[in-house]
Structure 1
Amino acid sequence: MKKISIISKYIIGAGVIILASCKVGGDVNVNPNQSPNAQGGYLLNSAIQFLGGVNGAGATTNINSFAGELYSQYMSETFYTNESLFALKQYDYQTYYTGPLKDLQSVIDVNTNAATKNQSTTLRYGSNNNQIAAARILKAFIFLTITDRWGDIPYTQALKADANFSPAFDAQKDVYAALMKELDDAQNQFDDKGTLSNDILFNGDNTKWKHWANSLHAIMALRLSKVDPTTGRAEFAKAVTAGLMASNADNASYTYLAAQTNENPYFTNYRNRYDYAVSSLVVNTLSTLNDPRLTVYVAPTATSTYVGLPYGTFGDDLNNYNAGTRDNPGNVSLIGLAVSNQSSPTVWTSYAQVLFTEAEAAHLGWINGGDAAAATFYNNGVTASLAQNGVSDADAQTYLGQASITFSANTAMEQIHTQKWIAGFLGNGWESWAEYRRTGLPKLLDPVPGSLSPGQNIPRRQQYPQTEIDLNRTNYNAVVARQGPDALNTRVYWDKQ
């Protein structure tokens, strides 16, 4: 399909050239039907769709990517086991920079440039301030994903076009500080001059954009809990004061369509490949806790049971398991249709996740209320996740009433992070992996027998793309000297677990 698309592109391009050559007068290099200026609304949505896994985004760059879900052990591979066994060491972040980050920078530029900011083609998508603010928040989210995966990254000198093809790497500590300021400033930039039009993430709701920005700020602040708790606590307080997500209606949720051009990537995989089954860790955890999300997240086997595929199973041992298909299940469970249907949405940042973040902050004494407040945030987080997955209030209360679920200060961290991990299923796998590295919770399979990472452990970061070695060697050598070996077991700045 890709080859056909590329050929078609060149055929179409040739046709345009032929037609243009027949034009009498005028500039043959100018399309009279296309605006010469960047279209902010389209570029914003292009960036959002990239993260959703459409418009050519790869399986490792979209937010609910296969790789992120595997690193967090939500799924197991049924045939090819390269990623679950960490055989793939180098992952390429260039498409983030040349795709969504470039688009978002264009939104900022066209709304800042005196020659374009007041044009009707610019203002049709919303006020300059509102477009810039949304683009800044989405840029920060993408940069957060990149730095949490690779550590030190090109940031200050990035996105300069031909002014700098060899950007230096910023230390992750500095990237974090810059991103928290960026989120703080961006949410303050929204004005009262209407809402964004053509916004497919929050439907033009400025308040939801603000709540997302502040919630990301809080998540980042808590990430500093072991490396710089003083700064983390102060930044967390800032974010709370500014206003976090207040309900499931605030979820940063990407909506897929009941159309092959923009469908859930897991539905795409299950058309004919069936590369992934639910991990036994997910199935066993939910079964042990009598969790009503089991039937939402997990599809039944041929015998109407729920059975996970042990994470990292490879070689001849895979012959004991058969994932089957949606119509003809095997002896291990596929992903539940409710979360992997063609139009099933994916939640990048959820209200439940934010509540669990607040629960940990209260437990740590970062916000008022101590463990009493932590219990309330924890209970509300569980309830929000259950509601997000269609579980009734009555069933939620029954679930919370179990002794194994009832909050205890003695097991607070384990309970909070188990529930946060459960709530993150098929959402932002990169975020769940980051939280595991920070806390070691919940207890994943680590080391992973048969894996190819140092010590067979879950990676602490990903290796830089080969392009940095080939085209930016001086800066690559500098960052390796500062951060440590470009290896899977080198820890990023905040990873002190």
Structure 2
Amino acid sequence: MQRIYKKANLLTTALALLLFTGCTKDFESISENPNNPVVTEAVYFMTKEIVSTCYDYQSDAYMDKPASAGRYITMVRNEGNDNFGWTAASWDGHYLRLTTNKSLHDQAALEQKEQYVAISKIFYAFNFSYISDLYGDIPYTDALHSKDLKITLPKYDQQQDVYPSLIKLLKEANDSLATTTKSIDKAADVLYAGDILKWRKFANSLRLRLLLRCSKTYASAVAEMQEIAGDPSKYPVFTSNSDNAELPYTTIYKWPGGPTGGGGALTDPFAEFIKRKPSKEIVDFMTERSDPRMPVLLSKVTGDPADATVDHNDYVGVPNSISLPYAYNGGDEHISTLNLDIFYQDQNPLVNASLMTYSEVCFILAEAAQQKGVTVSGKTAESLYYEGIKANMDYWHVSADAQTAYKSVPTVVYDGTLKQLIGQKWLALFIKGAEGWFDYRRTNDILGFDQKIGPVAAQHTIPKRYIYPDGERNLNRAEYDKAIAIFGEDTRNTLMWYLK
């Protein structure tokens, strides 16, 4: 808990400095020479980049398509995302974050501060990989150069070129941070308070994520995963929840009304919190295993379960793509919400904006060992599988006794199958980003989500990608046409490079 509040205080301090700087700008401008503009230091761009990336990525995980596609959340009002008739999706917000990151990179290079250049490379890799994960082939080498190189109509790069480039950036970031003698400003670094080792762990853990994702088609993926796993001194990765790349929510930066779009009375059917219910898939998965995380993550139905029309359990999730989902099982009082005491608040120390967690790293390495033959010193696929479960249960403050009991549940006892491993990873990643959806695609729906899609869906498979923004067809048509001639039809079901 101390770790969480320490981060919150650092974040508040850094943001207060930014706000103070903004408030005094107009006053100071009276005596400024317009021909000698003030240059913003790199650390301020770093703070902004960290905050915007964390909060926007987490927002997608609960409020947007990844929540539905990962089968974590079911929309019971305005359920378009759940019905999978996705149309063109804007990427402006993603590229805006990268514009800030370019400012961080360029200013850090100008100041000869390689520690901040390295951090910018980590965020280049995170944000560009996320855009590519969503769309496939994307503007990359020409992107972000409208000002310095006057490129306003950027060409698209193939994912098979983008991904290796990003993986290389992460390796460079680790190597640079390993040798730098320069410190990171603790107040401005709202993610790791200037801890260079933690930044290196994040770079290498993220590199593992990307390598596993493209391991089907990237020839050197397994060898590079082994390189990381085989030399923890040179390539440190997350080793505990204290390494998690995540931010708390503060009174300055939060989603409107709270981390899960709270605000408004609970009786208001249009409040964002009430629109989003835990999916039937996630609730049934936990119910079948008597999972002790269930009372932490979910609230019981408020009505008498005996009066329900379909599901008479204390915890009930909603299937997607059904008629009148808000009336499922007899209505609102017979459907669970996320835990009201944790998620329906402006701030709670258990609710953070997460980019990556230790639990995910455990499951990545477990799969690499189980399926790819990667060796991890002193560990096996089985031990890493159990450590991934433990890390997530520790994260949610599940008691040691409850964890021990869970490990003896027959369907939890390690059986060496990918399906079991991916199932536990999927649960551990509950509203922790788009990774549940990306694993669904990568493992060919190993958990059988497509079979559970309801009757009013536009299609009976979960989409594989976002459709390019309308602006690309209207304003960047020549490059768009060149791109789809190589990539394939611009539909929500076209497979990107690493899925073929």
TM-score between both structures, scaled by the size of structure 2: 0.83
In 1, Cα distance between equivalents of 2:478 and 2:486 = 13
**Contiguous gaps of at least 5 residues in structure 1:** 1-15, 119-127, 325-329
Q: Which residue of 2 aligns with 1:13?
A: none
Q: Which residue of 1 aligns with 2:14?
A: none
Q: Which residue of 2 aligns with 1:93?
A: 91
Q: Using a 3 Å threshold, how does the CA distance of structure 1 residues 26 and 333 change in structure 2: closer, same or farther?
A: closer
2:368 is matched by which residue type in structure 1? A
Q: Which residue of 1 aligns with 2:373?
A: 366
Deviation at 1:370, TM superposition (A): 11
CA contact (8 A) 1:356 1:420 kept: yes
Deviation at 1:235, TM superposition (A): 1.8
Q: Which residue of 1 aligns with 2:431?
A: 426
Residue by residue over 1:353-408, the C-alpha shift from the partner in whole angstroms, topping out at 9 and shown as x without a partner, is 11011111111243127998110110111111110110122221211122211101
Give the SS at the match of 1:107: helix
Q: Which residue of 2 aligns with 1:47?
A: 49
**Contiguous gaps of at least 5 residues in structure 2:** 1-24, 305-312
Q: Which residue of 2 aligns with 1:238?
A: 227
CA contact (8 A) 1:107 1:131 kept: yes
User: Residue 142 in 1 paired to residue 127 in 2?
Assistant: yes
In 1, Cα distance between equivalents of 2:157 and 2:323 = 41
Q: Using a 3 Å threshold, how does the CA distance of structure 1 residues 441 and 372 change in structure 2: closer, same or farther?
A: farther
- Stretch deviating more after TM superposition (456-465 or 395-404): 395-404
Q: Residue 199 of structure 1 is aligned with which of 178, 183, 189?
A: 189
Q: Which residue of 2 aligns with 1:216?
A: 206
In 1, Cα distance between equivalents of 2:279 and 2:32 = 62
1:311 is matched by which residue type in structure 2? P
Q: Which residue of 2 aligns with 1:441?
A: 446
In 1, Cα distance between equivalents of 2:117 and 2:32 = 35
Q: Using a 3 Å threshold, how does the CA distance of structure 1 residues 165 and 452 change in structure 2: closer, same or farther?
A: farther
1:32-431 → structure 2 map (5 Å cutoff): 36-53=38-55, 62=60, 64-97=62-95, 99-113=96-110, 117=111, 128-162=113-147, 163-190=150-177, 191-197=180-186, 198-228=188-218, 230-240=219-229, 241=231, 242-258=235-251, 264-268=258-262, 272=268, 273=271, 274-303=274-303, 306-316=314-324, 318-320=326-328, 324=332, 330-336=333-339, 337-339=341-343, 341-343=345-347, 344-368=351-375, 373-409=380-416, 412-428=417-433, 430-431=434-435
Count of residue pairs brought into register by the alignment: 448
In 2, Cα distance between equivalents of 1:71 and 1:269 = 25
In 2, Cα distance between equivalents of 1:257 and 1:347 = 14
In 1, Cα distance between equivalents of 2:93 and 2:324 = 36
1:265 is matched by which residue type in structure 2? P
Q: Using a 3 Å threshold, how does the CA distance of structure 1 residues 339 and 295 change in structure 2: closer, same or farther?
A: same
Deviation at 1:267, TM superposition (A): 4.2
Q: Using a 3 Å threshold, how does the CA distance of structure 1 residues 61 and 136 change in structure 2: closer, same or farther?
A: farther
2:208 is matched by which residue type in structure 1? A
- Stretch deviating more after TM superposition (442-451 or 99-108): 442-451
1:42 is matched by which residue type in structure 2? Y
Give the SS at the match of 1:82: helix
Residue by residue over 1:326-356, the C-alpha shift from the partner in whole angstroms, topping out at 9 and shown as x without a partner, is xxxx210111143453222132211111101
In 2, Cα distance between equivalents of 1:276 and 1:40 = 38
Identical columns (%): 24
CA contact (8 A) 1:269 1:275 kept: no
Where relative contact order (Cα < 8 A, 6+ residues apart) is larger, the structure is: 2
1:422 is matched by which residue type in structure 2? L
